[in-house]
Amino acid sequence: YLRGLGNEHASESLPGALPEGRNNPARCPYGLYAEQISGTAFTAPRSEGKNLRTWMYRKKPSVTHEPFKSIEHNAELGSKLGERVIADFAPSSRDIEATPNQLRWFPRKYPEVSKMTGNRIRSTFIGGLETVCGAGSAATKDGYAIHTYACGVDMVNDCFANADGDMLIVPEKGTLDVQTELGRLEVPPGFVCVVPRGIRFRVTLPEIPQDGEENEPDADFARGYVLEVFSGHFELPDLGLIGANGLASARDFEMPTAYCDDDDAMHRARDAGEWAIVHKFLGEFFEAKQSFSPFNVVAWHGNYVPFRYDLSKFCPMNSVSFDHADPSIFTVLTVRGGSASRPGAACADFVVFPPRVNPTADTFRPPYYHRNSQTEYMGLIRGQYEAKVDGGFLPGGGMLHSCMTPHGPDAETFARASSPRACDEAGRIGDDALAFMFECDYAPRVSKRAMRGETLDENYYKVWSSLRSYFDANDRD
């Protein structure tokens, strides 16, 4: 892997494949084609790495394909892809609705049952995507969408390109082998990866056998979360008064090295077949056929690159005396945006709650009761989240607390964390747990599928129903 988020990188799988001193000579080394992918406007400022592009040197250019055709219907699952994956959250959309309620979902089950045949269907990463909520629109390049995925089948002769935005992928179950045009990323649970807008990639599942019976109800699978941002790109947050070090370090982000499909005999054999390029554009899915592998890049250089990050390398900051710090102190990556009238607001932040020590004295240590101008979606990669011990927030599940929706610890957590002993003992938090949050500026609308699916926890509100008043006008302490 190459290291350093925001750096200019270069890689070649064949020595001398990168042109010297120029980007697109009349004849590239080895007869390769030069192709640039631009992640920002040509005139975006170079300062602070805001101008993003990468030059690829490939055997055939990506333009060499048959015309795109709309994929209107997922025949296996008996539903339209546009109903499952949403990129326009305008009020007029029939697939979404607004709700101020606290929402919680149990983990998705797999395989999914076809509405058409009743059979259990194992999906690839693309077919396993499903939107939870979002705001804004891919058409205006403003906003975000939050999805989950559940899949058990390799993408073999197909790849995926998302023209609508960057995708932050958070595995909860099962390692992903993410092969991109620029190289491969291994992404197990506890890692995250980002695939920028437009970069073609495919997902295979190295831990899951692919030769079993398709309809086995207990077939193994991979599951996780996706934060898709329509505006901007993921970058490190400013550290302000923290200083030069802490939180996520740029050196710990890893980028792939060039990997051309012809480097592997298995891929050479597959290269003779037909490839499908699945392209998401304005929330609709299209497919084009081509006779060669899209992963034919022999060398590349630039700063518009997919990457992965090991969450165990995050260096958390916290109070060492009293009071619970705001969750923004745990921000790993941010996407700038939101309204200029709301200073400090981001289109989206990716926040992680790793194992850590909390030495605060006379302090209620779990997250406080809260109403927030931002929207918070929480997921759980492993273990038990510190503020929910009722057993309903499970790895692979999710919680959504929208703008100004009250939320906070459940009744049992409050009782435990308010005891004198809990307030005075310095202790470790979440040694076996790893939770995260997508914090977003725009208030979301929720997918009707998510609101009506069997994973919705309709009793979530009851985790606070046993909270009682402890007020006593005669007992100040």
Q: Which residues are catalytic?
A: 324
Q: What is the CA radius of gyration of the chain?
A: 23
Q: Does the annotation flag 425 for ligand binding? A: no
Contact by Cβ (8 Å): 248, 236 = yes
Looking at residue 338, its amino acid is G
Residue with tokens 């979002």: 134
Q: Does the annotation flag 460 for ligand binding? A: no
Q: Does the annotation flag 385 for ligand binding? A: yes
Task: Phi first, then psi: give them for residue 267, nearest 5 degrees.
Answer: -70, -30
In this structure, the strands spanning 356-358 and 346-353 are unpaired
> Which of 296, 408, 266 is CA-nearest to residue 32?
296
Q: How far is CA 297 from CA 35, 58, 257, in A?
A: 10, 4, 11
Residue with tokens 């941010």: 334
Q: CA-to-CA distance for 53 and 38, rounded, in angstroms?
A: 4
Q: How far is CA 45 from CA 48, 54, 96, in A?
A: 8, 16, 37
Contact by Cβ (8 Å): 429, 355 = yes
The tokens for 175 are 């390692």
Q: CA-to-CA distance for 292 and 275, rounded, in angstroms?
A: 6
Q: CA-to-CA distance for 428 and 353, rounded, in angstroms?
A: 12
Q: Does the annotation flag 370 for ligand binding? A: yes
Specify the DSSP class assigned to residue 183.
E
DSSP H or E stretch at residue 358: strand 356-358
Residues 6+ apart with CB under 8 A from 451: 97, 99
Angle at the Cα of 289 from the Cα atoms of 224 and 174, rounded to 5 degrees: 15
Looking at residue 141, its amino acid is K
- Which residues fall in the annotated binding site for homogentisate? 385, 407
- Which residues fall in the annotated binding site for Fe cation? 370, 376, 407
- Which residues fall in the annotated binding site? 370, 376, 385, 407
